Amino acid sequence: MLFNSFIFLIFLALVLPAYYLLPRRLKNPLLLVSSYVFYGYWDWRFLGLLLASTIVDFVVGWKLHDTQDPRKRKFLLAVSVCFGIGILGFFKYFNFFVDSFNSMISTFGWRLDFLHMNVILPVGISFYTFQTLTYTVDIYRRKLEPTHSFLDFAVYIAFFPQLVAGPIERASHLLPQMQRHVPFSRDNFRMGLVLMSTGMFKKILIGDTAGRIVDQIFAKPRYYSSLELLMGIILFSLQVYHDFSGYSLIARGTAKMFGKDIMVNFRQPFLASNITDVWSRWHISLSTWLRDYLYIPLGGNRKGARRSYVNVMITMALGGLWHGAAWNFVLWGVAHGVYLCVHRWMLKGKEATHRFVFTGLNRWFATYVVKVLGTNVIFLFALLIFRAKSFPDLFHFWDRFFIHWTASDFTGRVITMTLSFIAVTLILDIIEYVTEDQAFLLRLSPPMRYGIITVAWFFCLVYMYQARPMPFVYFQF
C-alpha cells in the first residue's frame, strides 16, 4: 500500500479510530493485523518471510539473554545475522553475484546461466532486516533486555508506518512504545496531521512531479542537451530527497497519530556545508546504523588513522550495496567513502562543523554559501553514478557535462523550472533549519495553519487522482 494512494487514506481512516476504540489488550493485535494487511497488500506471499524473520530474532533474543557462555552467545548471534543477511542476500543479491560471476568467467568462455533465478525483491526487506538485527545485536551487547511478549516484538518489526522504508528504528527506542499505549490526544493528532501534510506535499507535489521529468531524461539521455541533463540530475537529487523525507514525515505523522514517536530521518541535507555534515543529515537512521553496527565493530577510528580510512571505505561501499544490487551503487558508496576520507584528512583531527548560525550578510555567510554549493556539487556528481541506468549512459552524461556541452532549445524555461524546484526546497528547509522543527506549521495560528493545510491537501488529492501514483524510490532498496 502506498502512502500516496487513496486506499491508504481509507485504510488509515479505518485503523486509527479502531485503535483508540478497542480495549488496551486488543490494540497491539490490531496494529499487527493492520500492519500485515498493509504489507500483504503488495504481495501476501512475503508475509511468511516477515513472520519467519520476526520469530527467529525473537527466539534468538531470548536465548542470547539466557546464555552466559560467550561461544554459545556468538553462535546465536551468528544464527541471527546469517538468517537476516541470508534472506537479504538471497532475495536481493543472489542474481547480482551470479551475474557478476558469470561475466567474470565469460572471459574464459564459460557461462553458468542456469544459476540465474527469477527472484522478486520483497518490499522493505532491507529495512526490516536491519531493524531485526539491531534487536539481537543490542541484546548480545547487553544494551537491551529482550521483550517477553512476542506480540510486542512482532508489532515493533511490522509497525506499518515505518515497515517498508524506515526509518530503521532501534528496538531500544520503538519497542518500549509498543508496550505502552497512550490515550487519544488532540496534540498528537494535530502534530501527526501537520507532519503528514508536509510529507504528502513533499512526496506528491515535489518528489513525484520532479520524478516524472527525471524518469524521462534518464530513460533516454541521448535525446537531451547538456542543460536538460543537468536539470535531470539536480531534479533527481530533489526527487530522492523529497520522496524519502516526505515518506519519513508521513511515517512520523502516522505514527504520531497512534501516539508513537519515530526518529527524524532527514535534517535539511542540502544545507550541509561539508560531506561529513551531509551524512549526519541524510537518511540518519541508516547512517547511524552503519556507524553503530558496521563501522564501530570494524574498529572505527580506534585502530589508527589508516585503518579508520579503510573502515570508512568498507562501510560506505557496503552502504552503497545496501541501496541496490548493482555495481553503480557500490561505486556510489565508494565515491562517498573517498569524500569522507578526504574530508577527514583535511580536518586533521578537528571536529567537522555542523550547524551554521546566521549573523548577517558577512564573510562567514559567504564562506558558508560557497561550502554548501561545493558540497552539493560533489554530492550530485556521486548521485549521477547512483542514478545512471548503465555505464555508457553515465559516460554520456560526463561527456555532455565536461567535453561536449550542448545548448538547449528551452534554456530559460529549463533554468526557471530547476530554480523553482530548488527554491521550494530551500524555503521548506530554511524554515525547518531555523525553527529546528519539522512540524513548523504548528507555530501558526490554527485558522492560518488549516487554511494552508486545506489547500495543500486539495492539490495533493487532485494530483493523486489525475496522475499515476509513483512508488517511493526507496521501496526498491
Contact set with another protein (CB under 8 A): 5-7, 10, 41, 205, 209, 212-213, 215-217, 219-220, 223-224, 409-410, 413, 416-417, 419-421, 424, 444-452, 454-456, 459, 462-467
Q: Which residue has the cell 533527481?
A: 236
Q: How far is the CB of 324 from another protein (least distance, A)?
A: 18
Nearer to another protein, 242 or 344 (CB): 242
Nearer to another protein, 278 or 453 (CB): 453
Distance, CA of 166 to CA of 123 (rounded, Å): 11
Q: Which residues contact 45 (CB under 8 A, 6 or more apart)?
A: none
Phi, psi of 411 (to 5 degrees): -50, -55
Distance, CA of 133 to CA of 54 (rounded, Å): 10
Q: How far is the CB of 454 from another protein (least distance, A)?
A: 6
| CA dihedral (30, 35, 36, 41) positive or negative | positive
Nearer to another protein, 62 or 410 (CB): 410
Distance, CA of 270 to CA of 387 (rounded, Å): 18
Nearer to another protein, 5 or 280 (CB): 5
Which 3 state secondary structure label does DSSP give 301?
coil
Distance, CA of 11 to CA of 70 (rounded, Å): 46
Q: How far is the CB of 271 from another protein (least distance, A)?
A: 20
Nearer to another protein, 95 or 425 (CB): 425
Q: C-alpha cell of 138?
A: 543490542
Nearer to another protein, 307 or 449 (CB): 449
Residues catalogued as catalytic? 323
Q: How far is the CB of 236 from another protein (least distance, A)?
A: 14
Q: How far is the CB of 447 from another protein (least distance, A)?
A: 4
Q: C-alpha cell of 380?
A: 550530485
Phi, psi of 162 (to 5 degrees): -120, 15
Nearer to another protein, 204 or 263 (CB): 204
Residues in the chain: 477
Residue (of 85, 83, 60) closest to 144 by Cα position: 60
DSSP conformation class of 181: -
Distance, CA of 320 to CA of 331 (rounded, Å): 7
Q: How far is the CB of 238 from another protein (least distance, A)?
A: 10
Q: Which residue has the cell 504520531?
A: 256
Q: C-alpha cell of 367?
A: 564562506
Phi, psi of 148 (to 5 degrees): -80, -25
Calculate Rg over the CA atoms of the chain: 23
Q: How far is the CB of 33 from another protein (least distance, A)?
A: 17
Q: C-alpha cell of 339?
A: 569524500
